């Protein structure tokens, strides 16, 4: 019987590494051995801290309720090691992506796998879910030629979003984060737009046509609203879980006709869904990964056995990390 080493969240701020027996391989399934998987710090820290609501998972590919004990994660890259007798043998040996928890191996149907382009390194491919999110955010924000745009939060999603936005001919792009290392992580090669790296306390009276709130902190929504110009848009990509904060919708907001846009990657905007589907959006995300090469933002690599240390780092010293990866 094949076993897998899997990370389980068992209670707030506690993870355990367990050996799990995998079921027998069905004729229409494949066995994948994981090469690397990425921690999605924003969502997974909510799970780690016990701050998630008892609702369906934020990702539409995972059907389990969010409750302890929980195997969680959605950025696995691996190699197909075995195929059922009804599966096309061309799958054997392929490097693939799958929305799976952090586990050393797993059995799944080929329809849930995405083949990784040969030109893309496995570690870069681990960024696919966050890049798809970034593509979705930019599509929902719909930046316009010559606009002034701000991205609040320079975690991985914020970095990817800002990288895509810098490909647009904007008048100005500002990236904002309290952690200096994250603000300086973005090496802008494009000369199409002016880029400012700002801490939150230096925003002053700046106003923007389009603001992306990607900090994960609900109080940051007040900053987004405060610095959005008349009839501007605020795209809210953060998932706050159970975190709450008072939001100031009085004063200038009431008269400014500001649009608050909820953006979440499991669906496509109705305005686009007649022409866009998940497959087309994934194609755009793969191409963006090849251009941006986000592997440069991996600051830490851990073995699965050291998972507790990895999550402790993100919980207690988030300023030291950008992207954390498990290597198998």
The verdict on 142 and 109 lying in the same domain is no
Instruction: Based on the fold, state whether residues 174 and 224 are members of the same structural domain.
Output: yes
Query: Is residue 71 domain-resident?
Result: yes
pLDDT at 66 over 90: no
pTM of the model: 0.92
Low-confidence winner among 4-8, 41-45, 138-142, 271-275 (lowest mean pLDDT): 41-45
Pairing of strands 95-98, 114-115: antiparallel
Q: What is the per-residue pLDDT for 184?
A: 87
The residue range of the domain holding 202 is 129-262
Confidence (pLDDT) at 256 = 95
Interval 293-303 mean pLDDT: 97
- Contact (CB, 8 A) for 96 and 265: no
Do 107 and 80 belong together in one domain? yes
Note the pLDDT of residue 53. Answer: 63
pLDDT for 52 equals 75
**56 and 171 co-located in one domain:** no
Identify the pLDDT of residue 307: 98
Would residue 284 count as lying in a domain? Answer: no
Residue 111 has pLDDT above 70, yes or no: yes
Could you tell me if 31 and 136 lie in one domain? no
Interacting residues of 258 by C-beta distance below 8 A, sequence separation 6+: 225, 228, 230, 231, 232, 233, 234
Give the number of C-alpha atoms closer than 13 A to the C-alpha of residue 20, restricted to the C-beta side. 19
Mean pLDDT of all residues belonging to the chain: 93
**Residue 162 near residue 137 (C-beta atoms within 8 A):** no
Residue 273 lies in a domain: no
Q: How many domains does the chain have?
A: 2
Rounded to whole angstroms, the Cα distance separating 159 from 175 reads 9
Average confidence (pLDDT) over 229-253: 91
pLDDT one-digit tens code per residue, 122-153: 999 999 999 999 999 999 999 999 999 999 99
pLDDT at 285 exceeding the cut of 60: yes
Q: Which residues make Cβ contacts (< 8 Å) with residue 187, sequence separation at least 6?
A: none
Predicted pLDDT of residue 55: 45
DSSP at 222: H
């Amino acid at each position: 019987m094949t076993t897998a080493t899997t990370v389980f969240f068992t209670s707030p701020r506690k993870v355990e590494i367990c050996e799990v027996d995998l079921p027998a391989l069905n004729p229409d399934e494949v066995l994948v051995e994981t090469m690397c998987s990425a921690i999605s710090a924003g969502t997974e820290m909510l799970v780690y801290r016990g701050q998630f609501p008892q609702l369906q998972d934020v990702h539409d590919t995972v059907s389990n309720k969010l409750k302890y004990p929980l195997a969680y994660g959605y950025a696995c890259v691996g190699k197909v090691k075995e195929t059922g007798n009804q599966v096309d043998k061309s799958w054997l040996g392929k490097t693939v992506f799958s929305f799976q928890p952090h586990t050393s191996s797993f059995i799944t149907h080929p329809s849930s796998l995405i083949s990784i382009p040969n030109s893309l390194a496995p570690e870069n491919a681990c960024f696919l879910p966050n890049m798809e999110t970034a593509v979705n955010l930019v599509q929902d924000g719909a930046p316009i030629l010559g606009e002034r745009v701000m991205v609040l939060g320079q975690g991985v999603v914020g970095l990817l979003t800002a990288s895509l936005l810098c490909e647009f001919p904007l008048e100005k792009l500002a990236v904002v984060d309290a952690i200096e290392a994250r603000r300086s992580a973005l090496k802008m090669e494009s000369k199409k737009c002016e880029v400012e790296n700002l801490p939150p306390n230096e925003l002053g009276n700046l106003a923007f046509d389009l603001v992306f709130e990607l900090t994960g902190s609900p109080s940051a929504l007040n900053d987004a609203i405060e610095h959005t110009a008349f009839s501007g848009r605020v795209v809210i990509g953060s998932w706050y879980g159970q975190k709450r904060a008072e939001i100031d919708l009085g004063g200038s907001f009431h008269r400014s006709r500001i649009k608050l846009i909820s953006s979440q990657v499991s669906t496509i905007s109705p305005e686009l869904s007649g022409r866009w589907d998940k497959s087309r959006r994934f194609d755009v995300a793969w191409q963006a990964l090849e251009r941006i090469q986000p592997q440069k933002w991996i600051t830490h690599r851990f073995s699965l056995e050291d998972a507790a240390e990895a999550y402790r780092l993100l919980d207690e010293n988030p300023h030291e990390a950008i992207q954390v990866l498990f290597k198998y």
